[in-house]
Amino acid sequence: MIPGSFDYHRPKSVQEALALLGKLGDDSRLLAGGHSLIPAMKLRLATPGNLIDLAGIADLKGIRADGNDVVIGAMTTQHDLMASELLANKIPIMRETSAQIADPQVRYVGTLGGNVSGGDPANDMPALMLCLNASFHVSGKGGERKLAARGFYQGLYTTAMQSGDMLTAVRIPAPPAGHGYAYEKLKRKIGDFATAAAAVVLTMKGGKVESCAIGLTNVADTPLFAEEAAKILTGSVLDAATVKRAVAAAEAITSPAEDARGPAAYRTKMAGVMLTRALARAKSRAAG
């Protein structure tokens, strides 16, 4: 499997990368870990004339605290996310999710930026970004701007990023200490994309849900933010009847494709099952 021909560029800075992107236009693609793009190029589903490799830009790597937020460089790998003590302490659902992505070799190379910016609904991090209310630092022709993850995913492979834009970092507000969390993913085998998956972050107070956010993976053209379901759960003790109503509300916003992972109705049901399990596990981990 030989990809089409292209010219290779390896800029040393974000400015240099943006200048190349501006000059080469739509005949160019940014190369991060390459584990979505290179397979697509081998199948000639993508045939860019130029690749702009971001691996040489040190500024795009690393994980740091900024007040209550954690800021993660776009080129930070899944392996780095799993190894980060800062994330393990502040946003442990990141490690739990990374650990369920692909396999060790892919995680050494695959990046957070590549995972969240391609608009592929099968990726795991986008639903988590919705759940955590992350925002994306994007640089482009008009300088740098911050885009909220909620609203970023517009359609299949379509995001709020414009031609000439580049994701530089992901900013995530750390959930309150004592929060509960879970990422539940159904997959046929290691390395597979989700049949359906659910991300839950919640806080409890006096045995009741004080706040709750839910993201769903691979059950629509975009990752889903299940706002109505979370609203139903807030204030409840997560009793079976309320959970059932919330799960029904979450299932109602799905519209999965029928594929080798199963018929659409099955995948919708599995999204509900993943959400039910994620809620139970998040509750068991939450203080209060």
Partner 1 sequence: MAKSHVTMKINGKTVEALVEPRTLLIHLLRDQLSLTGPHIGCETSHCGACTVDLDGKSVKSCTMFAVQADGADIVTIEGIANPDGTLHALQEGFRQMHGLQCGFCTPGMITRAYRLLQENKNPTEEEIRYGISGNLCRCTGYQNIVKAIQYAAAKLNGVAFQEAAE
**Residue numbers at the binding site for partner 1 (CB under 8 A):** 1-8, 10, 31, 34-35, 38-39, 41-42, 51, 53, 55, 79, 102-106, 108-109, 190-191
CA atoms of 14 and 280, how far apart (whole Å): 43
Q: How far is the CB of 124 from partner 1 (least distance, A)?
A: 16
CB closer to partner 1, 10 vs 269: 10
Q: How far is the CB of 44 from partner 1 (least distance, A)?
A: 11
Q: How far is the CB of 7 from partner 1 (least distance, A)?
A: 6
Q: How far is the CB of 270 from partner 1 (least distance, A)?
A: 22
Q: How far is the CB of 57 from partner 1 (least distance, A)?
A: 14
CB closer to partner 1, 41 vs 125: 41
Question: Under a CB-based contact definition with an 8 Å cutoff, are residues 139 and 18 in contact?
Answer: yes
Alpha-carbon distances of 254 from 105, 158, 162, 226, 287, rounded to whole Å:
31, 18, 26, 9, 31
CA atoms of 85 and 8, how far apart (whole Å): 35
CA atoms of 208 and 103, how far apart (whole Å): 37
CB closer to partner 1, 42 vs 231: 42
CB closer to partner 1, 53 vs 210: 53
49: tokens are 């004339």
CB closer to partner 1, 190 vs 240: 190
CA atoms of 6 and 4, how far apart (whole Å): 7
Core vs surface per residue 113-129: b (16+ CB within 10 A) or e: bbbbbbbbbbbbbbbbb
CA atoms of 156 and 37, how far apart (whole Å): 15
Q: How far is the CB of 69 from partner 1 (least distance, A)?
A: 28
Task: Determine how many CB atoms are found less than 10 A away from the CB of residue 261.
Answer: 20
One-letter amino acid at 188 equals R
CB closer to partner 1, 113 vs 215: 113
CA atoms of 144 and 287, how far apart (whole Å): 38
CB closer to partner 1, 37 vs 201: 37
Q: How far is the CB of 38 from partner 1 (least distance, A)?
A: 5
DSSP designation for 58: G
User: Of 75, 20, 7, nearest to 47 (Cα)?
Assistant: 7
Query: Helix, strand, coil proportions of the chain in percent (round to 5)?
Result: 35, 25, 35
